[in-house]
Copies of this chain bind each other. A is one copy, B any other.
Amino acid sequence: MSNAVLKEEISPPKGRPRSEKSKNAILKATNSLLLHKSVQELSIEAIAKKAKVGKTTIYRWWPNKTAVVMDALINQPGMQTPLPTPRNNTEAVIMQLEKLIRLLQSKNGEVIAQLFSEAQTNPESHKIFENSFLSPLIDAIAFSIDRGKAEGEFGNTFDTKTIVDILCGPIFFRLMAHRPDFDDAFQESYPRKAVSLIRAN
C-alpha cells in the first residue's frame, strides 16, 4: 500500500514512454562502431544512422558522446560480474586491482583510455567519467584500504588517497603510455607486488 502511494507520488508518466528498443539499438550501435573507431572518431550522426534512430533521440537522453559511450560500455554483457568475498583487506585490494586490469585489458581498455582523454578537455565528460567509472572504482579500493589501516594490515605512511594513486596510477599509466606492455604478465604480477609495497610500510 505504501508502495502504491510512493509509486503514485514519484511517477506520473505523461506522454509516450521512452522506447527501450531505440535505447538498446543506440547502445548496441555504439559498441559495434567502437570496434573499428576511437571514441573521438565516433560521431553521434554515425550512431544514429547505424541504430536507425533520429539524432534527437540520442540528444534527448544523453548529454554528449561520452555519456553514450559510457552507457554502452557499462551495458555490455559480463560487465557487472561481482567479486568473490575476500578473506582480508589485502586480498580485497588485490582482487580489485586484478579486476581493474582485466577490464582494461580487453578492447574496453582502449575505449576507457579514450573516455579518460575526453574527460581532460570536456568538463561534462569529466563528470560523467568520474561518476560512472572512476569514483566507484576508487571508492571501493579506498574503503578496503581504510579498513585495512584500521585493522592493522596497512601502515599510515601515506594517506589513503595517495595509496590509491600509487596502486592505480601505474595501471592507467601503462595503459595509456605503452599499451603493448599492458599484457598478461603485468596482470599476474602487478597487483600482488604493488600491494606488498603498501603492506611493508
Contact = CB atoms under 8 A, between A and B. Distances in A.
A188 to B, nearest CB: 12
B190 A116 contact: no
Chain copies in complex: 4
Interface string A114-157: 10111111100000001000100000000000000000000001
Contacts of A194: 166
Interface in A6-42: 38-41
B134 A177 contact: yes
Interface of A: 38-41, 110, 113-114, 116-122, 130, 134, 157-158, 161-162, 165-166, 168-174, 176-177, 181, 186, 190, 193-194, 197, 200-201
24 contacts: A38-B120, A38-B121, A39-B121, A40-B120, A116-B120, A116-B177, A117-B117, A119-B176, A120-B176, A134-B177, A157-B193, A162-B170, A165-B173, A166-B170, A166-B197, A169-B169, A169-B171, A170-B170, A172-B172, A172-B173, A172-B177, A197-B201, A200-B200, A200-B201
